Amino acid sequence: MTVALASADTDALPIHVVDAEEVTPWAERQGDRIGAWVKSSGFKGAIGSALTIYGAEGQPEMALIGYGTGAKRKRTRFVLAAAMPKLAPGTYHIASGVPEDRLEQEALGWLLAGYSFDRYRENGTEYPTLVVPDGVDADRVTHMAKAEFLARDLINTPASDMGPEELESAARELAAAHDATISVIIGDALLDKNFPMIHTVGRASTRAPRLIDMSWGNDGPRLTLVGKGVCFDTGGLNLKPGASMGLMKKDMGGAANVLALAQMIIASGLKLRLRVLIPAVENAVSGNSFRPQDILTSRKGLTVEINNTDAEGRLVLADALTLAAEGEPDLIVSMATLTGAARVAVGPDLAPYFTEDDAAAAALDQAARRVADPVWRMPFHDAYDDLIEPGIADLDNAPKGGFAGAITAALFLRRFVTEQERYVHFDIYGWNPSDAPARPKGGALQGARALFDALPDLLKL
């Protein structure tokens, strides 16, 4: 896959993006020949429609892409991407019809539409190339697209080829490419280094659990990203039914998202000190699996009663978040495919997040609109803290009743960062359940572009 916008090209075919309600007036302004061509083609300007117009000698002269109506555009994140695959291979430039404030989004969507997961089967599709529109930072858009492709590839890879060791390899490859430092604590060494819950969750697998710790940058504010790296989740002894286990290769989506965000940050050269922590495990079933009613002691010293071994993500994140807080960063962000409750609340397309920092929330919401990466703020509702306190231990990993599951999970994680820390937690889905423009069915980056765009405000860069 080529992930780049073309530089200026005098031979690039012009694209005119036409609103559905303006097709007839636009065509009439072009003269009789083009007007007749548009009319006879039946082009109506619908989103996803494209039309190539040829000259008198049969050569392509221009292309039209439908921009739909205002109501339809609200439902479509990347309008040009919906039509891009219908254009013949070649180089194109946007000649008219896209508002200036949408050019970056549309250029990004064009790149994202060129993705295919071809690790196991060659794709062979040649996609058209877009000349970078005036006023768009080609490097920035390219960095975002490459990072999204990284996340998609990691999530789409089946667990047979994406276990804790392979996730570590992906982190090492990123570190090596950008002169970052990386260390990894593996297996029983997790106990020696006081990461007991990461070890407990991962010990039943033949693939050793580990904590991946990557750092980059020597100057600026400190940012620590923590990503859930459960490479496959059987549910443990609270075994998932087959239908629920089918997508569990994506349960390391939080790790994939923080690695992608790290790649954006590093490739863009942001002036900050970055740390990435990934607890990488497989939640398997064996004779030494942890059990319901076990009580675990975390790195922070808080005890946790296990009432469901399928609520394991918050356990491994807890130890990693404790380590993150010990470094006293300016901002901690966790990303995890954590709860089904979040999906029930907002569906698969929105990335819900929790923070007590109103300024951070405002920055994230504005950034999400700029980069077409929708997010939604959820509350750390203090009144629900009682739900995660079981009585015989400090915390309950799976409160009974089923109410407010995303909130109680976030409240659980909050216990492992000190009150002084600025903390944002994302409970993402990490998956597109069906094809959409620039977002094919499969692994998805969610919330990471919004975070990347908001970082200058969040950290005063």
Q: Tell me which residues are annotated as active site.
A: 240, 314
Count of C-beta atoms within a 10 Å radius of residue 173: 13
- Burial class of residue 259, CB neighbours in 10 A (0-12, 13-18, 19+): buried
Question: Contact, 426 vs 335, CB < 8 A?
Answer: yes
Residue with tokens 């009144």: 383
How far apart, in Å, are the Cα atoms of 5 and each of 35, 79, 444, 452? Answer: 31, 17, 21, 20
Q: Using alpha carbons, select from 346, 310, 317 the residue that is nearest to residue 411.
A: 317
DSSP 132: P
Q: Strand, helix or coil at 32?
A: helix
Cα(144)–Cα(151) distance, rounded to whole angstroms?
A: 11
Q: Strand, helix or coil at 94?
A: strand
Q: Strand, helix or coil at 168?
A: helix
Cα 240 to chain centroid, rounded: 25
Residues counted in the chain: 461
Q: Using alpha carbons, select from 127, 29, 121 the residue that is nearest to residue 86.
A: 127
Element of type H or E holding 108? helix 103-112
Question: Contact, 202 vs 281, CB < 8 A?
Answer: yes
How far apart, in Å, are the Cα atoms of 134 and each of 63, 102, 111? Answer: 19, 12, 16
Q: Strand, helix or coil at 461?
A: coil
Cα(94)–Cα(130) distance, rounded to whole angstroms?
A: 8
Q: Strand, helix or coil at 140?
A: helix
Question: Contact, 74 vs 39, CB < 8 A?
Answer: no
Q: Using alpha carbons, select from 405, 190, 164 the residue that is nearest to residue 298.
A: 190
Cα(131)–Cα(208) distance, rounded to whole angstroms?
A: 47
Residue with tokens 């006081």: 194
Cα(337)–Cα(358) distance, rounded to whole angstroms?
A: 24
